[in-house]
Structure 1
Amino acid sequence: MSRGPSADEEHEYTGEKDKSDGDRFDPARRLEGTMPRASFAWSGDLTEEEIRRILREGDPEERARLIGRIVSEAPFEEIWRYVTPAEIAANWPVVRRYIWPPDLREIWEWGLRVWGYEVASDAPSGEGA
């Protein structure tokens, strides 16, 4: 039984989808925008098109839930494909409820403040704060 190519075999990536792979993650396809699912949407089945539709047309709660999911689960560089810091800050009172774990929420609050956005925090205020 073969376990794949040997280390000394030469392979060339052609950029074409291997028909046996189905919808398996392929970084080249993700960069081309042809992935059926967003790479961070591991807990659901959202496509790029659905994500953009929700961000454009979804009700405020649905949008905030998705933004929270994006900033919690997407790689940092990928977040900016979907939202801007201004959009995160503008929706922060609701978005913050959907960011998990809580430490990540605190990091985002700090980052938004560093970038010049005023965001409310539920963290206890310390001396000198």
Structure 2
Amino acid sequence: MSRLTTDMRDEDSRPYFLWDEPLTIRQLREILRSGDEQERLTYMAKILREARYEDVWKFLSVDDLVRYWEQLAPRLGRRRAFWEFLLRKWRELGLVR
């Protein structure tokens, strides 16, 4: 099994936020790019729940967050309020729709 890392450029290591899964950063990127929708949503939610804010954007875009919000929100647990706050503020400022 590959080692855990906080260096998101190390494609052959596992990202620290997937400590419980044997996926490398490369494999995660591939799933996010071309996996089926449910698999993509599962990993998008896990990133939003477990990754540091600055690392989220190394895998997801703001457009991803906005586009899939309704499906992601119920999967975010304690982090849901954080992302709801950000989306609400971004909308108030006209940064996203």
Output the TM-score relative to the length of structure 2.
0.80
Cα distance in 2, alignment partners of residues 114 and 67 from structure 1: 21
Match of 1:81 in 2: 58
User: 1:95 aligns to what?
Assistant: 72
State the shift of 1:41 in Å. Answer: 0.5
Alpha-carbon deviation of 1:32? 4.1
Is contact 2:29-2:59 (8 Å) kept? Answer: yes
Query: Gaps spanning 5+ residues in structure 1: where?
Result: 1-21, 119-129
Post-superposition CA distance 1:108-128 (Å, at most 9, x none): 11211211245xxxxxxxxxx
Is contact 2:3-2:13 (8 Å) kept? no
Gaps of 5+ in 2: none
**CA positional deviation for 1:97:** 2.2
Q: CA-atom RMSD, angstroms?
A: 2.0
Greater relative CO (CA pairs within 8 A, separation 6+): 2
**Aligned partner of 1:100: which letter?**
G
* Alignment size in residue pairs: 93
Deviation at 1:31, TM superposition (A): 5.2
Map of 2:84 onto structure 1: 109
**Higher helix share goes to which structure?**
2
CA distance in 1, matches of 2:5, 2:43: 23
2:15 paired with 1:38? yes
Cα deviation 1:30-59 (Å, max 9, x = unaligned): 254245211210121221111111111112
Specify whether residues 85 and 26 from structure 1 end up closer, same or farther in structure 2 by C-alpha distance, changes over 3 A only. closer
Choose which of 69, 80, 83 in structure 1 pairs with 2:46.
69
Amino acid across the alignment from 2:81? E
Deviation at 1:73, TM superposition (A): 0.4
